[in-house]
């Protein structure tokens, strides 16, 4: 009996050693990947070795991230782990909750007070540098606050609404805060957010567009003016990628196409490329199908519409604005779209140079509170 047990243990140990050795060889031989399709993000590359990096500890930290990202069959292991957790009843993975009806909901983490103050200071400084610019701020609540009833029991989610209200109170009095929470909440039984992605749907963007029109004194386009067309029913979004939760129903993407289309020109300024459409239909064949809107995110996009006598609008945004901007074409002669995560210019000087009339700052709550690039407004 003891002999059989010892033999079994030796075989198990040998099998484990062979497995570790085989995985190590594969890790060494496999070329580094730059992008993960399943996680929809860039992967860490091998950090450069230097004495300064070694002493500071950054090399060790960066090398650990590199090994984790480049681990062979990483996507398979992530899927196995998340599926095992799901079977065991776990409802959270990588900051994403698996809610009722197969809805994925990203956790809201409250911002540090100092960081929030720095962002508000940047908005104040930009406001002072552009006194003639009419400014509107739309911070979009996420599914974490609109779908609280779909969260798993005991889910620890920050109070997103409280922080949005705080920003509203701290803004300069001349900046209008466009509160879209009531309208989105009223339409929450409609698909105003994707189930597998952190973005709002085109329908959610349309609901918010109606609220902006009220604030700006614009006559909105009715739903009857659009041909609402489903362009894919196989969209698995960012939260699907981030969480690793599988066996979920895919989302549909709809486009609101004007029944009476007008000509316009879209220029990707840094890339020196132009298009006659806001929709990159080829993106529907790729993983990130939401990039069908505006072809993704760029530092600066300039749009000239068929209304030369209208006002000029600046949109400072994250990707939520990509599906929102098509609704604005009938209301402005020119629209400049700036993503501060990539834009390196002096935005106040840009506004004054181009004699822009109105500005809309449009972010979803998570991006606004987490991304530091908003501080670049004052630079």
DSSP 118-153: HHHHHHHHHHHH-TT-EEEEEEE--HHHHTGGGSPT
Cβ neighbours of 379 (radius 10 Å): 13
- Tell me the whole-structure pTM to 2 decimals: 0.82
CA distance 185 to 144: 12
Q: How far apart are the first and last CA of the chain?
A: 76
Helix (H, G, I), strand (E, B) or coil at 78: helix
The DSSP call for residue 296 is S
Residue ranges of the chain with per-residue pLDDT less than 50: none
Nearest to 78 by CA among 32, 44, 38, 34: 38
Place of tokens 């995560």: 341
DSSP E strands, the chain: 35-36, 41-42, 92-93, 96-98, 104-106, 134-140, 176-177, 226-235, 251-258, 265-268, 273-275, 300-304, 311-317, 332-338, 358-364
Alpha carbon distances (Å) from 226 to 52, 184, 232, 286, 326: 59, 20, 18, 26, 11
The answer to whether the CB of 149 falls within 8 A of the CB of 371 is no
**Cα Rg of the chain, angstroms:** 24
What integer pLDDT is reported at residue 20 of this predicted model? 63
Give the model's pLDDT for residue 242: 85
Tens digit of pLDDT for each residue in 105-145?
Answer: 999 999 999 999 999 999 999 999 999 999 999 999 999 99
Query: Residue 188: what pLDDT?
Result: 92
Distance CA 298, CA 173 (A): 31
Q: Which residues contact 93 (CB under 8 A, 6 or more apart)?
A: 82, 85, 243, 244, 245
Structure confidence at residue 77 (pLDDT)? 62
Other beta carbons within 10 angstroms of residue 200's beta carbon come to 26
CA 16/CA 19 separation, integer angstroms: 5
Q: Find, among 161, 138, 163, the residue nearest to 216 by Cα.
A: 138
Report residue 1 as tokens: 């009996």
Q: Give the Cα separation of 340 and 277 in Å (integer).
A: 23
d(CA 207, CA 187): 8
């Amino acid at each position: 009996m003891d002999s059989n047990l010892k033999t079994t243990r030796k075989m198990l140990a040998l099998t484990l050693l062979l497995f570790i050795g085989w995985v190590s060889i594969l890790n060494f031989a496999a070329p580094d990947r730059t992008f993960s399709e399943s996680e929809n993000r860039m992967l860490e590359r091998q950090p450069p070795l230097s004495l300064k990096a070694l002493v500071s500890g950054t090399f060790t930290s960066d090398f650990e991230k590199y090994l984790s990202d480049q681990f062979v069959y990483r996507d398979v292991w992530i899927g196995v782990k998340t599926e095992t957790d799901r079977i065991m009843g776990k409802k959270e993975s990588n900051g994403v909750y698996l809610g009722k009806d197969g809805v994925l909901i990203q956790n809201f983490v409250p911002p540090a007070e100092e960081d929030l103050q720095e962002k508000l200071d940047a908005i104040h400084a930009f406001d002072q540098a552009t006194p003639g610019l009419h400014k509107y701020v739309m911070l979009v609540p996420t599914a974490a606050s609109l779908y609280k009833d779909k969260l798993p029991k005991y889910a620890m989610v920050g109070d997103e609404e409280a922080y949005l209200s705080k920003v509203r109170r701290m803004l300069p009095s001349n900046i209008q805060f466009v509160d879209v929470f009531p309208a989105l909440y009223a339409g929450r039984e409609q698909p105003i957010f994707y189930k597998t992605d952190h973005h709002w749907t085109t329908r959610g963007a349309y609901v918010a567009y109606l609220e902006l029109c009220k604030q700006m004194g614009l006559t909105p386009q009715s739903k009857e003016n659009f041909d609402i067309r489903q362009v894919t029913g196989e969209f698995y979004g960012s939260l699907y990628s981030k969480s690793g939760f599988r066996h979920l129903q895919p989302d549909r993407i709809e486009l609101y196409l004007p029944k009476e289309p007008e000509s316009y020109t879209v220029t990707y300024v840094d890339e020196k490329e132009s298009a006659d459409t806001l929709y990159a239909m080829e993106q529907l064949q790729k993983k990130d199908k939401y990039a069908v809107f505006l072809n993704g995110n760029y530092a600066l996009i300039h749009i000239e519409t068929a209304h030369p006598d209208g006002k000029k609008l600046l949109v400072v945004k994250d990707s939520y604005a990509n599906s929102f901007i098509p609704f604005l074409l009938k209301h402005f002669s020119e629209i400049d779209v700036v993503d501060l995560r990539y834009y390196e210019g002096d935005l106040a000087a840009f506004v004054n140079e181009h004699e822009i009339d109105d500005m809309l700052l449009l972010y979803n709550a998570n991006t606004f509170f987490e991304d530091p690039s908003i501080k670049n407004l004052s630079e």
